Structure 1
Amino acid sequence: MTDALFAGLDPDPATRDRLRARLVRDAAAADLLDVVVRTVDSPVGPLLLAGTDRGLVKVAFAREDHDRVLATLATEIGPRLLADPAGLDDVARQLDQYFTGARTSFDLDVDLRLAHGFRRDVVAHLPAIAYGHTASYAEVARAVGRPRASRAVGTACARNPLPLVVPCHRVVRSDGTPGQYGGGERAKRWLLDLEAG
């Protein structure tokens, strides 16, 4: 019956975008929204972006299974998720600038609630690794005060909720080889090459 009521009412794209933006704004103002999500294309594949009222909370590669990521966000943050293709525009713009080499750091509010304990300590340290530089897992372990925790640093990097923005791709093995990466080894090499100039 609902379909019959709205048959033939397919608004043009500009109207649809305006209505969606109003829905997001009204839901946020009424505290009816937990997470806004958007997917963007990138040189390392499609990325799912998720934001809360605190800031960017998740960047997920396609290989992480975006549906599974959405289910995790609903469980760990809240079930009121809204897909907004025009949302998180500043994040998308800064990522585009990064991928073209026009940006070397991000100026975004981030929400680190998905990182806990030691993992959060590692994630909080990663932005100290400058663009175009790398640090070994052992060096990061020492920097966060746990010199014997190199493997745990690897796990923390693998579970970093904000790859790219929080640069876990800059953490490499002691011999200089890239090591594992949530976006895959090929993506990690591409990012390191981009930053190497």
Structure 2
Amino acid sequence: MNRIDVMLEEFFAAEAPSDLASRLLAGLRARRVELAALADRFRIEATERGVARLRPGRGNHGASASARAHAERARQELREYLAGRRTFFTVAVDLAGVADFQARVLAEAVRIPFGEVDSYAALARRVGHPRAARAVGNALGANPVPVIVPCHRIIRGDGTWGHYAFGGEMKTRLLRLERSTPALIGCTSTRIVCRRGCAHEQRVTEANRIVFASVADAASVGYRPCRVCRPSSMTR
């Protein structure tokens, strides 16, 4: 059992969620709500530039048709992600109101590959402020679009979760989901490997599917990376 698996076991019984998380996960333990069902418990707000806010609630909200289209796309991708059928988001995100430091922190969070974790201290170093781990944590805590911008993949250096807007149990569930979802799917007929959730991957029949641990593994048996979803970009 590796480090992340140990952490998931230790923190599955996480601390009681905050009021914000309580509204999202009300009754989750008692009724064992499927993670995928939570996609409809988010209020998604979007502008013409992309998704601007995701929080507990209901409905898609946008002042224009293009804004509502961004919100609808985000909802669909969230459903696929929470069902284990997507490992990346393509919907545009609008961070126009975010300060420069927070924007850089969120950009680094997006670079953490699906299924992996990193520390607040490591992110602080990458944004050029090695002593600012606490400020990085605050920036992630104020992430306006959690899940889509994956702040749940950042933990403390000692392996504890740290703050998460939707609560420790939600963070645990997301990390468990990512650890159990194959990130790369190859098509035996085209010899192309895609990220889970790519439009091409979604058309591959069950009989033609093969799971790969890495792009290098796929290449070693003659598969090439998809030019649409670019699985080679998963590595940092």
Taking structure 2 as the reference length, the TM-score comes to 0.55
Aligned-residue offset at 1:44: 7.5
Note the residue ranges of structure 1 that are not aligned, 5 or more in a row: 1-40, 71-79
SS where residue 90 of structure 1 aligns?
Answer: helix
Q: Alpha carbon RMSD of aligned pairs, Å?
A: 2.4
* Cα distance in 1 for residues equivalent to 2:81 and 2:154: 18
Which position in structure 1 is the counterpart of 2:127?
144
Alignment counterpart, residue 50 of structure 1, candidates 42, 45, 62: 45
Preserved contact between residue 44 and residue 187 of structure 1 (Cα < 8 Å): no
* Aligned counterparts, 1:71-90, within 5 A: 88-90=71-73
- Residues 17-50 of structure 1 deviation map (CA, whole Å, 9 limit, x = unaligned): xxxxxxxxxxxxxxxxxxxxxxxx8438821101
* Cα distance in 2 for residues equivalent to 1:162 and 1:52: 13
SS where residue 103 of structure 2 aligns?
Answer: helix
* Cα distance in 2 for residues equivalent to 1:146 and 1:176: 21
* Cα distance in 2 for residues equivalent to 1:61 and 1:112: 19
Alignment counterpart, residue 98 of structure 1, candidates 71, 81, 98: 81
Count of residues paired in the alignment: 140
Aligned-residue offset at 1:114: 2.9
SS where residue 143 of structure 2 aligns?
Answer: coil
Aligned-residue offset at 1:184: 1.0
1:172 to 2:155 alignment: yes
Which position in structure 2 is the counterpart of 1:158?
141
Report sequence identity in percent.
37
- Residues 154-184 of structure 1 deviation map (CA, whole Å, 9 limit, x = unaligned): 0011001110010000000101221110111
* Aligned counterparts, 1:1-197, within 5 A: 42-43=37-38, 46-61=41-56, 88-197=71-180
Note the residue ranges of structure 2 that are not aligned, 5 or more in a row: 1-35, 181-236
2:77 corresponds to which letter in structure 1? Q
Preserved contact between residue 50 and residue 94 of structure 2 (Cα < 8 Å): yes
- Residues 59-94 of structure 1 deviation map (CA, whole Å, 9 limit, x = unaligned): 1135xxx8xxx9xxxxxxxxx958xxx852211110
* Cα distance in 2 for residues equivalent to 1:189 and 1:114: 29
1:46 corresponds to which letter in structure 2? R
SS where residue 43 of structure 1 aligns?
Answer: helix
Q: Indicate the structure (1 or 2) with the bigger Cα radius of gyration.
A: 1
